[in-house]
Structure 1
Amino acid sequence: MKETQQSAGASLTGPRARLLELAQARGVSLAALSELLGRNPSYLQQFIRKGSPRKLEEQDRATLARFLGVGEDTLRDVKDNSYDVPPVSRPEGLGWVEVPRLDLGAAAGAGRVPGGEGAFDTFRFSRRWLEEQGLARADLSAIRVEGDSMEPLLNDGDEILVDRSPRAFRDGIHVVRLGDTLMVKRVASAGPGRIALLSQNLAYPPVEVAADEVAIIGRVVWKGGRV
């Protein structure tokens, strides 16, 4: 078994190889080190063999370094502090999806809902990324959040992706239309035939309405905004 571990470790490089070598030299298993971090026993095995997570968290790295008697830099990838990004391979057929970008204020007028006629721009998303997020077949629109009622989850000016695909209702963050007003709220069941429109900002009280008074436009599935 020891020969097999050494052979497998020979193909590793960087902090993964160093961590494996240190663990073997001190006779401690990766499972035991994972438990030292408060993680599941396979955590470091997956980090070393499968590259997941991509890098160790700062606290985990510090804990391992202290236990193994080495400096933290020993377990740090030289690229961890660099903004250099390796070239991205672009396999044939990767493709992009153009998602219409809508203005939340413009979409709030009477009879206006997110749709093609309200688009003034587009966001381009990798088709592969959408597949990874389970959104490959989603009917997506992008809109801008206005106001502070959903802070700190959604901030004024954030852009959100809304999946308008028909599906059974479930509690979550949705874009809804109440009368002539389009809004972003956490929507929850409030009993038979009733739903609650909840704000993240506690300065805004919950609003409970009959389910047939509200049109659920779509579920919020992603957000982006300035730092």
Structure 2
Amino acid sequence: MALQDGESDDGARSRLVTLAAQRGVSLSALSALIGRNTTYLQQFVRKGSPRKLEENDRRTLAEFFGVPEGDLGAQQRSGVLAVGQGSAVLAPTVRAVAPEWADIPRLPLGASAGPGTLPAEEIPSGRLRFNHRWLKGQGLEPAMLTVIEVEGDSMEPTLRDGDEILVDRTPRPLRAGIHVIRLDDVLLVKRLEPGPGGTLRVISDNTAYPRLERAISEVEIVGRVVWKGGRL
């Protein structure tokens, strides 16, 4: 499947689309995985811009899908010519080492643990690095993860203003826990519990804030909070 010298990069684009469909991951999510804006890979596939994936981007995507980099446009050879004492010999190809770290994009959305914030444009403002082995052990896919910052005090002492949280956007059956949600057009981080009659309890860990009970249809679950980091 690897592209050979001189072969069109259309093969890399079609292969990327196929791999994304097989894994059930959007091009927008993959763009975020490599720290690009959400339309980056869509433009690569549909408009041919950029003409080729950059080496670091290609390596990250190949490692995520578990395929050779050649599938995504890297030129691969069975060996290289090495000139020795007056003769040329075929030296073995050096294999690339899979990256140890995953760079998870920070999105400047501000999940509010207080009054709530309006959603901002989802363009990464930086990246936070996590160990691939740790993520795998937690059952987490890097392309489905986002880091955002908590605003407000309604989730204290669990989450404090300025904490960063890792949000898993993988579709899963709902279970009790802390989630990022959209409610009444604002983004919130709250504890969710199933309620009676098709409702959800929307809970602030800070007892100074009231509990809410809303119909499930009124609550858009963005993702589950699976990690937090912040200052002591």
TM-score normalised by L of structure 2: 0.53
**Alpha-carbon distance in structure 2 between the residues aligned to 1:155 and 1:137:** 25
Deviations 1:54-107 (A, max 9, x none): xxxxxxxxxxxxxxxxxxxxxxxxxxxxxxxxxxxxxx4342212110123389
Query: For the Cα contact (< 8 Å) 2:199–2:216, is it kept in 1?
Result: yes
State how 1:61-210 maps to structure 2 within 5 Å: 92-105=97-110, 108-109=117-118, 112=119, 117-136=122-141, 139-210=144-215
Residue 11 of structure 2 is matched in structure 1 by none
Q: Residues 106 and 134 (structure 1 numbering): CA distance in 2 closer, same or farther, change over 3 Å? A: closer
Is the Cα contact below 8 Å between 1:150 and 1:185 reproduced in 2?
Answer: yes
Moved over 2 A (4+): 92-95, 103-109
Q: Which has the higher contact order (CA 8 A, sep 6+)?
A: 2
The corresponding residue for 1:213 is: 218
Higher helix share: 1
Structure 1 residues 106 and 120, CA gap change in structure 2 (3 angstroms): farther
* Superposed displacement of residue 134, structure 1: 2.1
Distance 1:137 1:101, change over 3 A: closer
- Looking at structure 2, the residues matched to 173 and 152 of structure 1 have their Cα atoms a distance apart, in angstroms, of 13
**Helix, strand or coil for the counterpart of 1:118?**
coil
**Larger CA Rg, structure 1 vs 2:** 1
Aligned-residue CA RMSD in angstroms? 2.2
AA aligned opposite 2:131: S
SS in structure 2 at match of 1:97: strand
What displacement does 1:179 show? 1.5
**C-alpha offsets along residues 25-45 of structure 1, whole Å, 9 cap, x if unaligned?**
xxxxxxxxxxxxxxxxxxxxx
Runs (5+) with no aligned partner, structure 2: 1-96
Task: Please tell me whether the aligned partners of residues 163 and 219 of structure 1 are also in contact (alpha carbons under 8 angstroms).
Answer: yes
For residues 209 and 142 of structure 2, the distance between their equivalents in structure 1, rounded to whole angstroms, comes to 35
| Displacement after TM superposition at 1:137 (Å) | 5.8
Task: For 2:174 and 2:135, locate their aligned partners in 1 and report how far apart those are by CA, in whole Å.
Answer: 22
Structure holding more strand per residue: 2
1:1-40 correspondence to structure 2 within 5 Å: none
Give the SS at the match of 2:180. strand
Q: Which amino acid counterpart does residue 141 of structure 1 have in structure 2?
A: T
Q: Is the 8 A contact 2:149 2:163 kept in 1?
A: yes
Q: Is the 8 A contact 1:162 1:218 kept in 2?
A: yes
SS at structure 1 position matched to 2:151: coil
Partner of 1:17: none
Most deviating of 122-131 and 133-142: 133-142
TM-score by structure 1 length?
0.54
CA separation in 2, counterparts of 1:119 and 1:138? 13
Counterpart of 1:119 in 2: which secondary structure? coil
Structure 1 window deviating more from structure 2 (195-204 vs 93-102): it is: 93-102
Which residue does the alignment assign to 1:226?
231
For residues 111 and 174 of structure 2, the distance between their equivalents in structure 1, rounded to whole angstroms, comes to 26
- Give runs of aligned pairs for residues 36-51 of structure 1, distance below 5 A: none
How many residues end up aligned between the 2 structures? 133
